[in-house]
Amino acid sequence: MSKRRTRTALVVAFVVMGVAVLGLAAAVYAKYIASITDKTASIEVAKWAFKEENETKTLSCDLSKTYTKTVAEGKIAPGTKGTCNIELSNNTSEVGVDYTITVKEVSGPQNLKFKYKGNALAADGEITGKLKIGDTKTVSINWEWPYETDEGAGDAADTIDGRTAAGNATTGTSEMKVIFDVTGVQTKPSN
């Protein structure tokens, strides 16, 4: 054999061996690679229905439903008291609710007092709380028209309220009501 053929055979052998070694090296260090495109994430948004669920509830309180034997049925006077119950529900929403109840409007005696859990509630005072998913709750607000206010100093105002009721030519009575404003906000999710 000629030197030239031996050299060519040797170069070809080295090239084939190099390709084989690189192929083995690639096989040792190989990994799967794939590219996936056009995929969409599927999510469902939690339902918010606090307003719809609660707007059929009566959020006013008829004070005249409480009376004593010395007061005509359906009427209130100094010394009467009662409870306004506000029913709240979170059965339809799929998130928790932070609610706020505010005494929005009071048309009635000047000396009418409100309490929630034993604490005085101002005319624009707020009651706050939480409803979990599926919860219902009754918020009870007590009201009282004290028999005597400010050690008797409020008797003049009570007398004016009584005369206003007697002097109403249209109804013969003074309509007295309390309207509550209830606002619900989604509870912030915790981690």
Q: Which has more confidence, 181 or 35? A: 181
Residue 58 lies in a domain: yes
Residue 78 lies in a domain: yes
Mean predicted confidence (pLDDT) in 15-24 = 59
Domain span at residue 133 reads 50-186
Phi, then psi, of 100 in degrees rounded to 5 = -130, 130
Residue 105 lies in a domain: yes
Long-range contacts of 186-189 (CB under 8 A, 24+ apart): 186/48, 186/95, 186/96, 186/97, 186/98, 187/95, 187/96, 187/97, 187/98, 187/130, 189/95
Provide the 10 A C-beta neighbour count for residue 184.
20
Say yes or no to pLDDT of 81 above 90: no
Residue 22 lies in a domain: no
Burial class (CB in 10 A: 0-12, 13-18, 19+), 183: middle
How far apart are alpha carbons 121 and 117 in whole angstroms? 10
Give how many domains the chain has, as a whole number: 1
- Binned at pLDDT 50, 70 and 90, residue 161 comes out as confident
Residue 11 lies in a domain: no
Mean pLDDT, the chain, as a whole number? 74
Q: Of the given ranges (45-49, 55-59, 74-78, 88-92), which has the lowest mean pLDDT?
A: 55-59
Residue 36 lies in a domain: no
pLDDT tens-digit readout, 116-134: 998 988 767 889 999 999 9
How far apart are alpha carbons 60 and 106 in whole angstroms? 10
Residue 106 lies in a domain: yes
pLDDT of residue 12: 65
Which CATH number is 85's domain given?
A: 2.60.40
Residue 40 lies in a domain: no
pLDDT of residue 58: 47
**Helix H or strand E encompassing 2:** none
User: What percent of the chain lies above the pLDDT cut of 90?
Assistant: 6
